[in-house]
């Protein structure tokens, strides 16, 4: 995609704002869309169509070509759709987009945590054309909205994994995204990508083991720098080993969290690999404050949409996940959610009742 070609960013949250602004300042024609129910997120920039971007990427006043809460108008603005919302926004967006999807579209979730499978199922059941639905394993930037009409990027992720459903369409989607996000790298399929997401690995145990401090200080401490201590890292790595075992049962040899954080550019490699040392040496991660309350998407998203989906896959594949299940139980208890809360079931993903071999075949060809 040459400078000046079009892209649509769907979602006007922290990363949506930052991505729209950074791509615009890089020379792309950008449309920023939001669901009507969240139209107020666009209000600070709707009239002037300018997002002020600060930090370590492009900086300055980014002019956005279209800002709209008309989903049809947003989808019509480009064939290249980037959906940048929390996991609980995937299904509402799929339903809203379905009437407006055309065969030339590609849709990429940034990140997805297996959400590409859920989106594809909803679009198919709604009668939309079959299009490639992709996801990345992380967001492109470490960023936040830091003013009503602006955002700050503290770090650019140099290496995002890209999984595409069906995997036979990987080259098509990668060609569309590579000029926008240098370093984006295809992985074998969406299962490998969804199981490479680091947020469900780090956030839930980190929040739960810092629960008292989060409530007492209302998040006024540096989450990674002060909260992810060597003891917390041991819990994270125990959970991470189960994630990797589930992936191995699907034929994927994924790096552990320490290597994955370094490979994504979050921090330096330690010898031997050590997640605490990588995080401790990360300028972008150590700049982030903790969430201000326990009812944070670091639990409400990463537990029922992330960890629960991994646990469900483990059950089908015969892979025990006792640490994941314990973190799920504690996370749901803290959130005051029923213990069976699971918002990304295998049925949601369109793979309920399939064997491991059938799941692998499905993600490759798109046909169960």
Catalytic residues: 203, 302
CA–CA separation, 21 and 103 (whole Å): 27
Percent helix, strand and coil across the chain, each to the nearest 5: 45, 15, 40
CA–CA separation, 3 and 163 (whole Å): 24
Residue 159, classified by CB atoms within 10 Å of its CB into exposed (0-12), middle (13-18) or buried (19+), is middle
Task: Tell the residue number behind the tokens 């959400």, with chain if given.
Answer: 115
For residue 281, give the 3-state DSSP assignment.
coil
Give the full edge-to-edge strand order of the sheet including 133-136.
Answer: 66-68, 29-33, 6-10, 80-83, 106-109, 133-136, 161-165, 185-186
Task: Tell the residue number behind the tokens 């939001």, with chain if given.
Answer: 34
CA–CA separation, 319 and 249 (whole Å): 8
State both tokens at 295.
Answer: 């009812």
């Amino acid at each position: 995609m040459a400078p000046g070609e079009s892209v649509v960013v769907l979602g006007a949250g922290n990363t949506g704002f930052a991505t729209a602004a950074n791509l615009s300042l890089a020379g792309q024609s950008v449309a920023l869309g939001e669901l009507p129910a969240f139209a107020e997120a666009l209000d600070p920039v709707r009239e002037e169509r300018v997002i002020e971007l600060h930090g370590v990427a492009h900086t300055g006043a980014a002019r956005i070509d279209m800002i709209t809460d008309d989903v049809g108008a947003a989808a019509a603005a480009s064939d290249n759709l980037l959906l940048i919302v929390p996991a609980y926004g995937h299904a509402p967006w799929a339903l809203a987009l379905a009437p407006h999807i055309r065969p030339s579209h590609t849709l990429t979730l940034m990140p997805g945590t297996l959400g590409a499978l859920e989106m594809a199922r909803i679009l198919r059941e709604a009668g939309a054309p079959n299009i490639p639905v992709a996801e990345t394993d992380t967001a492109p930037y470490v960023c936040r909205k830091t003013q009503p009409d602006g955002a700050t990027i503290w770090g650019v992720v140099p290496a995002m994994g890209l999984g595409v459903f069906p995997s036979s369409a990987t080259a098509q989607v990668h060609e569309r995204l590579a000029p926008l996000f240098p370093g984006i790298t295809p992985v074998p399929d969406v299962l490998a990508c969804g199981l490479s997401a680091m947020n469900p690995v780090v956030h839930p145990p980190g929040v739960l083991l810092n629960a008292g401090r989060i409530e007492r200080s209302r998040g006024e401490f540096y989450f990674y720098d002060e909260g992810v201590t060597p003891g917390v890292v041991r819990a994270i790595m125990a959970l991470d080993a189960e994630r990797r075992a589930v992936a191995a049962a699907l034929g994927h040899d994924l790096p552990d969290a320490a290597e994955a954080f370094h490979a994504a550019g979050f921090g330096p490699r330690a010898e031997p690999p050590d997640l605490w040392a990588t995080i401790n040496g990360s300028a972008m991660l150590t700049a982030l404050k903790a969430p201000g309350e326990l009812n944070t998407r670091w639990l409400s998203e990463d537990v029922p949409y992330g960890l629960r989906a991994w646990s469900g896959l483990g059950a089908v594949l015969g892979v025990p996940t006792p640490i994941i299940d314990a973190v799920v139980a504690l996370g749901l208890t803290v959130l005051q959610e029923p213990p069976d809360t699971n918002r990304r079931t295998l049925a949601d993903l369109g793979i309920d009742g399939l064997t491991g071999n059938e799941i692998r075949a499905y993600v490759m060809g798109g046909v169960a």
